[in-house]
Structure 1
Amino acid sequence: MSIANSIRAQIPPVHPEGYPFIGGFALASLVLFWIWTPLGWIGTILTVWCALFFRDPVRVTPVREGIVVSPADGRVSMISQVLPPAELGLGDRPLLRISIFMSVFNCHVNRAPVAGRIDRIAYRPGTFINAELDKASEDNERNSLVISTAGHGRIGVVQIAGLVARRIVSFVREGQTIGAGERFGLIRFGSRLDVYLPEGGKSLVSEGQTAVAGETVLADLGGASEQRTFRAD
């Protein structure tokens, strides 16, 4: 392998959603270089940051009946029993919710936590307060998915816009079958993902832990087999 190919193999691909933004930052950098060179270098740094924000690395997803993988890169910010949002249609009893906060430095491509059928997609407009706050689950703009699994009930996944985020993007549709670890959307520039587990689901992570989308096992829904296999995308 040549040095150039070796370097290229270490650079994660960029999701197509990021091309317009990266191009805009690059164009602005050229203009800033023309105005004043130090400003141009600042623009260049921001362009590199934008490319890193939209990175879409390959992930190796553990595959076993009953496990739930992280839908997002970031920090596990909250684990609590709460009422799920009404638009999910998951009932009026508290469920275990695992929240993952994504900073502007995390990869923002979101991946399905389980394999199953997407029964519902519900978008709700809202505010843009700090996504780390608990009330962001109710007040902020969000996009919700309900995924029916084979034998382990329904999982709720909620993309929540944050203080900086202003656009939630979904790649899927209702009725679609999705595999664990497959991409289902992204949120631009800082946000949060909530996962609502069915009754009996057990968290396997703790608050403050770092999660990797499509790889970190968040919870166990009580699968009969303990053996895991893996799927690389």
Structure 2
Amino acid sequence: MSHEKVRSGTIAELKHDENNANQGTEFGNHLLRQSIEKLGVGRGVVAAKDGTIIGGNHVTEMLGELGIENVIFVPTDGKTLVVTQRTDIEPGSKEFHELALADNKVGEVNLNFNLDKVTELSDAFGIDMKSWGFEPEEKEKLRESYSANVGEVLYEPREASHRPDELFTAETRFDAEIEAIQNEGIRKMLKARAAYFATFNYAKIADYYAYQATAEEKPLFEKLALVLLDKDQLIAKGFAEIMEEMQELNGFTVGEEDSEDE
């Protein structure tokens, strides 16, 4: 245990890790906000000696947005467990179990690794990513990519107004390189491929569809599966067929389980 004393401070003393590989998710941040607003602050965060956050970037950012500024700093050398003790919660109470469930669920749904950043950190620092489980099967990666780009989470629309540029984030990393390509046909193809990496804010899309979309816009939102009004619509609009084609290209079929060669 460090000989430095426990002290009070403010959230402004903490620094966001610019190389944080966890991008988080829209739904995860929604649950994080809900958890803090309803149940208060749960577990603490861990930071380096200068205050740069190692674990807890998203919760710290959310606390800042919610105006929670007070921080207790507990210096440690990593050999002592630091416990956040909620003196306002009785064991076995509703609050006890609800916070436990919320803590685990937020951690599950707000995890969204930027694999490019993971690779970058691995190369820069010689980190053995395989030993930390960073070697997902191609089948799982495809499913995760499909879910992220089509959207499987159900949202309850809110009566809110959103600008179109709030509904998605275009991928711009390759723009300069693509524009430098002389062949117009290839340039067009590369732009179409780059568009695949766009991310969509399905919660705001649901709001927009319900309260702002025009009669001309709504059918296209449905056809492109930006909104799924019923569970069978995914199949009806042909996205299941697309998934099958993608899977066949990668050597497996829908519903096929992984098996070991005998």
After TM superposition, the score normalised by the length of structure 1 is: 0.22
Indicate the structure whose relative CO is greater, using CA pairs within 8 Å and at least 6 residues apart.
Answer: 1
The structure with the greater share of residues assigned to strand is 1
After TM superposition, the score normalised by the length of structure 2 is: 0.21
Which structure would you say has the larger Rg?
Answer: 2
